[in-house]
Amino acid sequence: MTRVVIAPDSFKGTLGAAAAAEALAAGWRRVRPGDELIAVPLADGGEGTLEALGHDLPAACWRSAPVTGPDGRPVDAAWLLLPDGTAVVEMARAAGLPLLEQPDPLGATTRGLGQLLAAVLADPAVNRVMLTLGGSATTDGGTGALAALGARFLDADGAPLPPGGGALSRLARVDLAGLVPPPAGGVQCLVDVTAPLLGPLGAAGQFGPQKGADPAQVSELDAALARLADLLGGDREAPGAGAAGGTAYGFAACWGAEFVSGAQAVAAAAGLDEALRGAALVVTGEGQFDAQSLRGKVVGDLVERARGAAVPVAVVAGRVVAAEELPVARALSLTELAGSVEGAMADPAHWLAAAGERLAREQSVST
């Protein structure tokens, strides 16, 4: 029996990783129903991480907590408890950009993330936290979350600052005496960027415009985060400190959180290396496959792991750029299969199944 691992990333804007894996597997089974197919949906540590790990680890338990969203409206935020006591917390569930009715670059808060973490830490089964930082609406350095966990960020009169990164320009004192301690097993921040906290490539400079900040607001937020760093200490230059509007920096400075590659952490938690052992092929996929895909992203990490296990890689992507220059055995474009970008996006599950079918036929010929 031939073993095939199907381990795609999400196809952003169309299908999640688990749905993509199911579609690829359905197409493969039409041609080779006797093969052993192992689905390992992946993620980069941003949105979609909970769904991927929830699929990969059936013994994981879903939990949820009512929190305050980035604009103050109530949100019910899910999190995942893994069998080993790790809590996977997705920042976007509590402070994500889609939760805003309209962008609020100066006032959006991470308070809901702190409330979610407080609920997580109240669960006696939790001994470690994996915090995924993609898709945030905020640029407050994580201060809203830390305040919800007991830290105090005060102005010159000793009053707590209002929500949002813009208010940090008035920060005069930080009091961490009441901050809830991190779990005994520590905290990992899953990041997929190398941005420092400050400067043109930092939290505000690089990502502020995506959250609605105009040039003046970007400068204001960068200066406000610099004020925070002056008072809080920590490593403002650390690669990844600027992730999620500086939330990574805040949790590193106050909770000793470590930064890890989101793609690597998810693959490890999902058991990808074990799945690859003895496999004849691994099929992965994403929206666009090009040279950038190999630099710290899901597909790049998978290619390295597959190379170490001597397993050939087939990539299915919405669009493939310069496939002949990339280190994979096969690259299939859904756009080419469907005849157009519009056709591929109109029914991605159908075309992923068609891609799975084609790869299975090619596997039959090669064996």
> What CATH number does the domain containing 284 carry?
3.40.50.10350
244 dihedral zone (left: phi>0; alpha: psi -120 to 50; beta): left
Instruction: Report how many domains make up the chain.
Output: 2
Q: Which letter does DSSP use for residue 321 in this model? A: -
**Could you tell me the two tokens for 4?**
């095939």
- Based on C-alpha coordinates, what's the Rg of the chain? 22
Taken as a whole, the chain contains a residue count of 367
Instruction: Please indicate, yes or no, whether residues 110 and 139 belong to a single structural domain of this protein.
Output: yes
* 40 three-state secondary structure: coil
Instruction: Please indicate, yes or no, whether residues 254 and 278 belong to a single structural domain of this protein.
Output: no
Q: Which letter does DSSP use for residue 166 in this model? A: G
Among 78, 71, 76, which Cα is nearest to 111's? 71
CA distance 330 to 289: 12
Q: Count of alpha carbons within 13 Å of 52, Cβ hemisphere only?
A: 36
Q: Count of alpha carbons within 13 Å of 125, Cβ hemisphere only?
A: 13
* pLDDT number for residue 323: 62
* 89 three-state secondary structure: strand
CATH classification at residue 230: 3.90.1510.10
Q: Strand 61-68 relative to strand 74-81: parallel, antiparallel, unpaired?
A: antiparallel
Among 175, 111, 114, which Cα is nearest to 138's? 111
CA distance 254 to 144: 13
Instruction: Please indicate, yes or no, whether residues 250 and 290 belong to a single structural domain of this protein.
Output: no
Q: Which letter does DSSP use for residue 291 in this model? A: G
* pLDDT number for residue 289: 87
Instruction: Please indicate, yes or no, whether residues 143 and 206 belong to a single structural domain of this protein.
Output: yes
Among 26, 27, 22, which Cα is nearest to 11's? 22
Q: Which domain holds residue 24?
A: 3-40+271-366
CA distance 242 to 157: 29
Instruction: Please indicate, yes or no, whether residues 292 and 332 belong to a single structural domain of this protein.
Output: yes
Instruction: Please indicate, yes or no, whether residues 232 and 278 belong to a single structural domain of this protein.
Output: no
Instruction: Please indicate, yes or no, whether residues 62 and 201 belong to a single structural domain of this protein.
Output: yes
**Could you tell me the two tokens for 362?**
């090619």
CA distance 161 to 171: 7
Residues 270, 84 contacting (CB under 8 angstroms): no
List 72's β-bridge partners, or say none: none
Along the chain (367 residues), what's the average pLDDT of each consecutive run of 10 residues?
95 90 98 97 90 93 98 98 97 96 97 98 98 95 99 98 98 98 97 93 96 98 98 96 98 98 94 96 92 82 95 94 79 93 92 97 80
Segment holding 289, helix H or strand E = strand 281-289
Instruction: Please indicate, yes or no, whether residues 246 and 350 belong to a single structural domain of this protein.
Output: no
* pLDDT number for residue 367: 62
Among 219, 241, 263, the domain-final residue is 263
Instruction: Please indicate, yes or no, whether residues 28 and 93 belong to a single structural domain of this protein.
Output: no
* 23 three-state secondary structure: helix
CA distance 178 to 167: 21
Q: How far is CA 343 from CA 190, 275, 306, 347, 350, in A?
A: 34, 33, 31, 7, 10
* pLDDT number for residue 37: 98
Instruction: Please indicate, yes or no, whether residues 186 and 322 belong to a single structural domain of this protein.
Output: no
Among 235, 263, 291, the domain-final residue is 263
As a whole-number percent, the residues of the chain with pLDDT over 90 amount to 89
CA distance 39 to 45: 18
Tens of pLDDT, residue by residue over 202-261, are: 999 999 999 999 999 999 999 999 999 999 999 999 999 999 999 999 999 999 999 999
Which residue reads 């808060």 in tokens? 109
Q: Can you spell out the DSSP letters for 301-314?
A: HHHHHHHHTT--EE
Instruction: Please indicate, yes or no, whether residues 158 and 28 belong to a single structural domain of this protein.
Output: no
**Rounded to 10 degrees, what is the CA torsion of 46, 98, 210, 19?**
40
